[in-house]
Amino acid sequence: MELVIGNKAWSTWSMRPWLVLKRAGAEFTEIPIELRQGARTEAAIAPHSPSGHVPALKVDGIVIWDSLAICEYLAEKFPEAGLWPKDPAARALARAAASEMHSGFSSLRGECPMDLRAEPKVAELSEATHKDLRRIAKLWSDLLQRLGGPWLGGAEWGIADAFYTPVATRLRTYGVRLSDFGDTGRGGEYCERLLQAPEFLAWEAEAK
């Protein structure tokens, strides 16, 4: 397997399937692409990804060009890794959480881009981003309470956690306290767990 990824300091979408591959114990080769280089970046991605974006997983004669689709493929290929919860209800909720991250929170993503090399700072955020943060605080708290934690799907780290790991880095970088957005403690503790997961620490070390 080959995973085409962007810069580890910035590419949140590359991070997600990379974390899942690491958790699954899969053997894979990284193909790094330098982002933010205009036409040079486009030309570098073109031979690897039909969408013109990263990440892309090259495996078994096909290219999977979407982060969530890559993770779904890996969950099926490595069922022993427990990347989705076994319980159908928990699995549905974890999938809904990952899908909401995949398609939503555009204000937070635009206003607070991930930068693992940036010094932490307190940012002035818009009401649209405040709304995203209130939703994230509630989503995390509700799932952690309902499924018992310590991860969004319950006892085991999984794809939903991979999808929210870049959010945890944003909260750290931009000085966001979830307690200001309705969190009563569970969300803040979960955020810290995401940032201490060994797969994320390995990614972060390579991003610096």
> Quick check: is 154 in a domain?
yes
Pairing state of beta strands 62-64 and 56-59? antiparallel
- Let me know whether 99 and 194 are in one domain: yes
> Quick check: is 182 in a domain?
yes
Q: What is the pLDDT of residues 87-110, one digit of tens each?
A: 999 999 999 999 999 999 999 999
Range of the domain at 100: 88-203
Q: Six-digit token pair at 20? A: 């899942």
Q: Which of 57, 62, 73 is nearest to 1 (CA)?
A: 57
pLDDT at 123 exceeding the cut of 90: no
Q: What is the pLDDT of residues 14-69, one digit of tens each?
A: 999 999 999 999 999 999 999 999 999 999 999 999 999 999 999 999 999 999 99
- Let me know whether 101 and 179 are in one domain: yes
Q: What is the pLDDT of residues 157-188, one digit of tens each?
A: 999 999 999 999 999 999 999 999 999 999 99
> Quick check: is 208 in a domain?
no
- Let me know whether 33 and 114 are in one domain: no
The tally of domains found in the chain comes to 2
The residue from 51, 66, 81 where one domain ends is 81
> Quick check: is 50 in a domain?
yes
